[in-house]
Structure 1
Amino acid sequence: MSIYLISPAGHPNYGDELIAAGWLRYLAETRPETDVWLDCPNPGLATELFLGLHPRLRTTNTLWRACWEADSTDPVIVMDKVAHLMRHFGSPSYDLGIDRIRSMESIHVLGGGYLNNLWPANAGVVAAADAIRSLTGAKLYATGLSVIPVLAGTEDGDGHDLIDMLRGFDHVTVRDEPSASVLGLPLGLDDAFLAAGHELQRGFARGGADLVVCLQSDLQSEAESAQVFGRAREVVQAALAEGKTVQYVEAIPGVDRPGFDALKDLIRPEDFIPFISVWRDGLPLKQNQTWLTTRFHLHFMAAAAGNLGTAASVKEGYYDVKHGSLMNLGTGWSSTGSQEAIAAGSCSPRAAPSTFAAHLNSRMEQKRQEALTLYPQVLADVVLPGHPVAAVARLLRGLRSAVTPLPGS
């Protein structure tokens, strides 16, 4: 049997890639001999991004393509179409992938903020998982999700409600209080806690500037972007006047470039760090840094490194919830909306004392325990590969697979 992961990874988007990489490294440690399928929007690019992270990784886009190729972006129509495909097949364009999904031991919707009213068609991946379980009995997992702003228009009385489907999963955790309230769950942790240790080690080894900036240009109007860029200019100018070094990080290629272009007369070209450099060598981290960013997982990692900063929120009802979830965990950061002034006059933001880094190890362990609950470490992985016990464990797993009936048979 195999593990099936669903993620928006492969965009690339630093946060989504960080989460997927964290799970793949964990599964490489605990399930190296298990086939792991990652269903994501860009499987070709994901193959490059995650090359070598798991020895049996396969990538596909069966479910995402089914969502995109629906006749509408209405979530009810998308969810109905995708569920029908899973149950009844459809055409050679889908059937091989659907047959593959039907063989899975578990289907796992990885964390992130992509199942909400901003991208309604994405709800189809949850409907697909729900439909597969009705056929095969596969376990359904979802971890570290945010469902804010809540998807509207799916309560049609025919079982197409995203929230109800998620409530029916075998295991669900969410990363922010509003999502926990909607789903009736205790507050959980973002999936990035599974990857934080690895990223910190790389980032500190790389080193960084005194002030690091990343400003996105999506999910806001041009006028709002211009205002954020203008306030950032004041912060960068103040930092330079104090003799501090400044770098600009790209979390999503292209989308984060306009922010640098607006500041390129202040920040040298060699201090622009493109996504590919971040992915290969880590974020530019050091102690006593200040960050100014709109990006949620840059806030996460900079705070994990013990650094303060300002989170410029660019989408009310979405990014304010995201950044707020981190500030509630003690990052000590200040926050602004796109219509508010970012603290200027110094590169040191107004902020509260940070406890995020002090509690990092315990939260990383909490997330690892969650992962162990879903995917316990198998016997062969805790002994030397050449040890006789490892061979016996592999033999026993093979015998168990041979005598265990297929789900639904």
Structure 2
Amino acid sequence: MASSGRSGSSSSFNSGVPPPYQTFTPTSAVSALTSESSAPPTPLGPLDLGPPGFHATIKLYEGTLNELVIYLGPWEIVGNGGLEPRRVVWQCSYAGEILEHFLPSDNPDELFPYTLHANHRRFGDPREMELYLTFLEPHRIRYTTLDGVMHDEFAEVKYEFTTIEGSIQLQSDIRRKDLIDWFDVDVAWSDTHRRTDAYGNVRGMGAIQRMKLWRDRYTTSHSLTFYASRLRRWKEYPIRDFDRDLRHQDDRHRRLQLDARGRRGSGSDSSQAGPSRDRRFSASSIFRSSSRQNGSFSGASSPPTPQSVLDIRHLGIQFTRNNQVQAGTGDYQRFMEQWEIAHDADAEFGVPFPANVVELESPVMNGISGVHSPHLPNGIGELSSPEMAALVEAADTADQDEENTP
């Protein structure tokens, strides 16, 4: 009987019929689960894609229960310092909303927008890192709606743009310098901050940072900026302060070295004079230099070479290898191309204009808008004035009276 029971249950299980000792009712747990799974799924709610036409987003009270996403439209930079602070005024996507981003300095050269290195997103497009723009220090943010001021305090600024072009434009407007290109670097070092320490660890001035190339809108001069993570401060170096020729290149490791111009120990100085001559000083040489400055020696002298104001002798850079970009278009190759273009442009322009200088209109030169009188020799012109016009008219009247007198 036992064997027949086992065979019967086996046959009934294989045939799909429930065994006789189970109560198979519609209200059982199995039927309930079956009925729920067979019901049509609940439709998903609409996605919050934001209003159309917004350029970027920013989060207020991030990481709290009151976190708020603001959709930002066109922007405008207003204020010239002093009583009216310089700030970015955003027109938000909803009516009556304005977000003001107060810049911590009125000097554009002291403002540095920050974007991460491409290693933070290894499998994405390196250019898309420019979509996420931030600053390394808190800035004041004021958010105003129809109900009044909703936020007015210092906060960490994190913009997320919809296009790379929008991010580039805002960075350029904040610094008053056009962002030309950017390059991911593994490490940047100098003669004062070596690439490795005594134990062989990579140090330098900054590691895993994004270096950017700028062109000033007023002087058209180029400069390089990057965040020196080890020193915890920004570094900006004008292109004209370095030699054009890159004498130390390592294509295999994507390294190069920029030698400062006019610095003792740089490549240009070492080609003209040996290191022993650079270190040779004497009292007679000091007196000779002072006498030349006082004009004791006469004769033709060579024009002075531009001296560098840098505090380093060279700047070394090791660029990052990125497999997501096409071969031959990496940061190392692009940097060398942009370096030659920028250096040639600065050399062609000549001496740069002084920054932060306001030029007044030139006065009217003598003779340009004057009245040419036949009584003046060689047609010399004079500036028109009421006194001069009266004298000329009196002289003409006297001449006419003499001619009419018999």
TM-score after normalising by structure 1:
0.21
Higher strand share: 2
TM-score after normalising by structure 2:
0.21
